[in-house]
Structure 1
Amino acid sequence: MSISLSNVSQLLLRNDTLLSAKTPLFINLMADGFIEHYLSDNSNAKISCYNTNYIDHQALKKQYNNRITSSFTSEYHTELTHDLVVINFPKSKGELAFTLAMIAPFLDIDAKIFLVGEKKGGVQSSPKLTQAFLNNCQKVDAARHCLLFVGIVKAESLNKAFILNDWFEKYQLSVGGITLTIASLPGVFSQKKLDVGTALLLENLPRVMKGKVLDFGCGAGVISCFIGKKFADTELCLLDVSALAIASAKKTLALNHIPGHVFASNSLSEVSEKYQHVVSNPPFHQGTKTSYLASEEFLRGIKPHLQHNGNITIVANSFLQYLPIMQQHIGNSRSLLSKQGFSIYYADRK
């Protein structure tokens, strides 16, 4: 078995006979070779892959092109009816309920639903979390520190219409005399309240902001909406790797009547413009795992996207070594303050 396969994919391939299907749907699986194995064993299958992570979606699309149908969106749609679904267990339990409700209109009456994930990610709670949606959800295998569960979708689950708008969690926040309404889908960072790091960043933005602003890893759009309300002469651009974050940011902008361009990007892969201001509470989680790669790539690559005299302000956990990266790759960088376990870093391009 290829060592490039993730633990999750290795567990799935141990159970390949259980996964045989005509119209399978794979949700948030990595582009690590599992699909290649599945195609070789199920050459007539019409494979659909749905990913909320732009990196995995792009990789699957590049590798398998016309051999599968790959979609990246906040709301899944298809003309097919799926007889089997494999879900990579999400880090948020709310996102699991969201995903199950979303795919329900596209399932066969006896569709098998497999849930797979690392033990430490919470997958062992699958039977309890899915009891309203699945019949007889039970563990079928355990290996590589991962678990695999399977259940049959309940007939009554198939008849419920899915309305994306019903799944937004909304709350109000007030910072520095500015009141905003935030909308966030399950699994999006800081879904129910303003996090400490972002609050600190909002208090330490440049005193004057105008021109193009890039919000890197925008999440639900809190930072951009605050800037848009406080500084009328800004043009907001927001990026994130998550389809659910992108939908949330668009909703938040609309609720606050603030214009902005929101787009998907793998770090800076889709960034082509120059900005007067860059702001970020950089993400450091990839699924359930901690990963600093995208944020470090962002800091190493942002300088060409800063206008002359442009600046960047970020907040990060104080233990992260971002300042040396900024000093090396951007130049004039310094720490503005450290508080409550977070640091604010600032750099400008002269």
Structure 2
Amino acid sequence: MSLSNPSQVLLRNSELLVAKTPLFINLPEDGFIDAYLELYKPNSINCFNNNFIDYQAIINKHRQTATQNVQAIFSSTYQTKIYHDLVIITFPKSKAELNFTLAMIAHCIDVTTKILLVGEKKGGIQSAPKLTKDLLSCCQKADAARHCLLFAGLFQPEKLSIVFNLQDWFKKYKITVEGIELTIASLPGVFSQKKLDTGTALLLGNLPEKMSGKVLDFGCGAGVISCFIGKKFTAINLSLLDVSALALTSAQESLALNGLLGQVFPSNSLSDVNEQYQYVVSNPPFHQGVKTHYQASEEFLAGINKKLSKRGNITIVANSFLRYQPIMQAHIGDTRVITKEQGFTIYQAQLSSK
């Protein structure tokens, strides 16, 4: 795999990378880890990822190469007893996630720990100094190349003593749909963190009239869909999956706040789905551009027929310009357009045969 542009920019700045116990946060598996091991020979590398796909890639690569000093962690928060002398952070897609990430590492660094922020310009990394002014000192641009920026800084000494409390970072809001009141909890970086989004609201108003048995919420986000279904239909067994650890933790909190239970688990599309469901509901994620997103959705819709029980039903909401209906028709069965509103379309399909 070829090095990404941000990784190439990092390797241009060798004087900033020397460390014995570095922590890499949300770096992809693109060859940078191997290059770092060869060049700097650290005692250990801890790789923290809150994206399950990136985590799996690191695990699979370094299991194959039997790299003993690379530790991969998938979680919404990072806890360790190791002191890190270098932290490299991929600038997040959600700017709100950056200070959350910095706050959670305060317990394992000191005033001499180098904090590097790297990312593509189009991702908004230019705002890094402004965003981090309350936590970092000397956050300055270290390099600019390949349409990327690299910032380097140090933690403000007085901020290192602040205890990280996950509960402080949840945004909680109340919604009422069809007379059902829900409380939703969402961490930074989770889709629709502060309010019910238009697509999901449309989906909730167009679910099957009756639902029972096993229900899968694919790409659950903060758990809005599952919480509504759990409150409206009593004879159901909820399963919620997402690729994001931040989303999964948010969904678990939302379920608890509404007195509901559900199986919450990570999955790369359908990679870790091992059961069959009577109903699947989804507002498929749409975060990586039209082409990438459409391919990921096609994979999900092409494979979901194997995860539906006899006469199983799937209901999804999507941006109207995305051509989901032919894919669902080909792989699942008769697919209806339930409604089109505000730029979104609700599709519903029933498995033809089993």
Count of matched residue pairs: 348
Contact 1:23 1:47 in 2 (8 A): yes
Q: Which residue of 1 is the match for residue 41 of structure 2?
A: 43
Q: Which residue of 2 is the match for residue 323 of structure 1?
A: 325
Structure 1: tracts of 5 or more residues without a match: none
Contact 1:39 1:45 in 2 (8 A): no
Q: Residues 263 and 82 (structure 1 numbering): CA distance in 2 closer, same or farther, change over 3 Å?
A: same
- Deviation, 1:16, is 2.7
2:183 aligned to which of 161, 181, 190: 181
- Deviation, 1:176, is 0.7
Distance 2:347 2:225 in 1: 16
Q: Which residue of 2 is the match for residue 264 of structure 1?
A: 266
Matched ranges for 1:66-215 at <5 A? 66-215=68-217
Q: Which residue of 2 is the match for residue 237 of structure 1?
A: 239
TM-score normalized by the length of structure 1: 0.97
Contact 2:334 2:349 in 1 (8 A): yes
- Deviation, 1:349, is 1.0
Whichever residue aligns with residue 24 of structure 1, its letter is: P
Distance 2:295 2:5 in 1: 20
Q: Deviations over 1:212-265 (max 9, x none)?
A: 000000000000000000000010000000000000000000000011110000
Identity %: 64
Distance 1:310 1:152 in 2: 54
Distance 1:294 1:253 in 2: 27
Q: Which residue of 2 is the match for residue 33 of structure 1?
A: 31
Q: Which residue of 2 is the match for residue 6 of structure 1?
A: 4
Q: Deviations over 1:163-220 (max 9, x none)?
A: 0011000000001111100000000000000000000000000000000000000000
Question: Are residues 1:52 and 2:58 paired?
Answer: no
Distance 1:45 1:117 in 2: 26
Distance 2:328 2:277 in 1: 17
What SS is found at the alignment partner of 1:64?
Answer: helix
Contact 1:50 1:72 in 2 (8 A): yes
What SS is found at the alignment partner of 2:152?
Answer: strand
What SS is found at the alignment partner of 2:113?
Answer: strand
Q: Which residue of 2 is the match for residue 335 of structure 1?
A: 337
- Deviation, 1:9, is 1.1
Structure 2: tracts of 5 or more residues without a match: none
Distance 1:327 1:78 in 2: 48
What SS is found at the alignment partner of 1:108?
Answer: coil
Whichever residue aligns with residue 91 of structure 2, its letter is: F
What SS is found at the alignment partner of 2:111?
Answer: strand
Bigger Cα displacement from structure 2, 295-304 vs 329-338: 329-338
What SS is found at the alignment partner of 1:187?
Answer: coil
What SS is found at the alignment partner of 1:31?
Answer: coil
Whichever residue aligns with residue 155 of structure 2, its letter is: V
- Deviation, 1:289, is 9.8
Distance 1:106 1:292 in 2: 40
Q: Residues 132 and 141 (structure 1 numbering): CA distance in 2 closer, same or farther, change over 3 Å?
A: same
TM-score normalized by the length of structure 2: 0.96
Whichever residue aligns with residue 336 of structure 1, its letter is: I
Question: Are residues 1:277 and 2:272 paired?
Answer: no
Distance 2:111 2:60 in 1: 33
Distance 1:292 1:11 in 2: 30
What SS is found at the alignment partner of 1:276?
Answer: strand
- Deviation, 1:13, is 1.4
- Deviation, 1:294, is 2.7
- Deviation, 1:109, is 2.5
Matched ranges for 1:297-316 at <5 A? 297-316=299-318
- Deviation, 1:153, is 1.3
C-alpha RMSD over aligned residues = 1.5
